[in-house]
Amino acid sequence: MKLSNEGKIGILAIVTVGLFIWGFKFLKGQNILSSSKNIYVEYKNIDQLKVSSPVLINGFEVGVVKDIYLKPADLNTIIVVLNIKGKIIFPKNSTAVIVNAGLMGGKAVELRYTAPCSGDDCVVSGDYLKGETEGMLQAMLGRPEQFESYIGSFKNNARGILDSLDSSIKNPSNSIGRALNDLEVVLHHLKGTTASMDATMNASSSNINATMKNLNAISANLAASNNQIKSLINNLDAVSLQVKNGNIDGTLKSASLAMEKANQTLIKTDQAVGELNSILTKVNKGDGTMAKLMNDGSLYTNMNGLSKDLSKVSKNLDLLLQDFRLNPKRYVNVSVFGKKQKEYTLPVDDPAYRDTLKN
């Protein structure tokens, strides 16, 4: 029987749809060509579990998560449908635990049980299992029995290490024992040093406070003098610019000549000071007239008396000249016609006489 083109197209369409459905289910982890059973698990929190997540027994994949939905009678409960391969059997008292599937954060459902099943105690399609979600700490530490084995192993290893360390510490000839003894000495010295530093700090607290106050005062003065400092810096910049633009070589030569002249002046001054020291040495030793004037007391007394006598002579001479000016007839008698001169009468207010009375 020969098929028409329409029949061929229909058959091709049916096969295509079937392959599409099979491929879609296969990509979701469900093989519609093989027998399987659906198991239901109730959870309060599925921790971001997704459809097509693997179902494992001791790390071996035995199925996938087929569907996830809220329980109609209790919206706080989530129903997860597990599609398990038909040949896989496990007891009805198994626990479906949501665990981490890897480091990337994927989730999986692990079926855990203590003993295998046989007969009526095995799970069949449509059964419900107890569901649990593994916490972060439990995921890191593993199952309780695994954790206990880790703890036991750690305790045994730690006990051996502590016993070895204790024997090493008690043996002074051992390097560890010597190191611990040295460490104890260092800590003792460090304790003494700390106590000394504490006492020093307590004794110097007042000085430190005074120093801090002085620093604060200096900072305040600097802040108050900020404008003056800026002006000084600007002046220095101007001076440096002038020096840069000026004739530096000529200035340095002039300064060198001035320094040379100053050096010569200092040499002459040094010579003059030396001569002065020589003169003062001679005066102190008693050589020469100056030394006698300074060291001979009798000569000073005689010169002092002579000075007083000269003062008296000078004063008397002054009085004589004054009297001669006021009374010339007393000293010069000139008579042209032979007339007799009048007798000299001492004036009452004669300044020479008045000064004589005062002295």
Q: Using one digit for the tens of pLDDT, what is the confidence trace for 34-52?
A: 678 899 999 999 988 999 8
Q: For the chain, what is the radius of gyration of the CA atoms?
A: 65
Give the model's confidence band at 31: pLDDT under 50 very low, under 70 low, under 90 confident, else very high: low
The per-residue b/e assignment along 317-356, b for 16 or more CB within 10 angstroms, e otherwise, is eebeeebeeeeeeeeeeeeeeeeeeeeeeeeeebebeeee
Integer Cα distance of 83 and 68 in angstroms: 12
* Residue boundaries of the structural domains of the chain: 1-33, 35-142
Asked whether residue 76 carries a pLDDT value surpassing 90, the answer given is yes
Residue 53 is predicted with a pLDDT of 92
Residue 264 is predicted with a pLDDT of 86
Residue 56 is predicted with a pLDDT of 94
Q: Using one digit for the tens of pLDDT, what is the confidence trace for 206-252?
A: 777 788 888 888 888 888 878 888 888 888 887 777 666 666 666 67
Helix residue ranges, H only, the chain? 5-27, 136-141, 144-170, 175-203, 205-224, 226-245, 248-285, 288-295, 297-326, 351-358
Give the model's confidence band at 137: pLDDT under 50 very low, under 70 low, under 90 confident, else very high: low
Residue 77 · residue 66 · CB < 8 Å: no
Integer Cα distance of 331 and 352 in angstroms: 15
Amino acid type, 119: G
Q: Using one digit for the tens of pLDDT, what is the confidence trace for 176-198?
A: 667 777 788 888 888 888 888 88
Q: Using one digit for the tens of pLDDT, what is the confidence trace for 274-312?
A: 887 777 777 676 666 666 666 666 666 776 777 777 777
Residue 169 is predicted with a pLDDT of 66
pLDDT (average), residues 341-350: 58
Integer Cα distance of 131 and 41 in angstroms: 6
Helix (H, G, I), strand (E, B) or coil at 39: strand
Whole-model pTM? 0.37
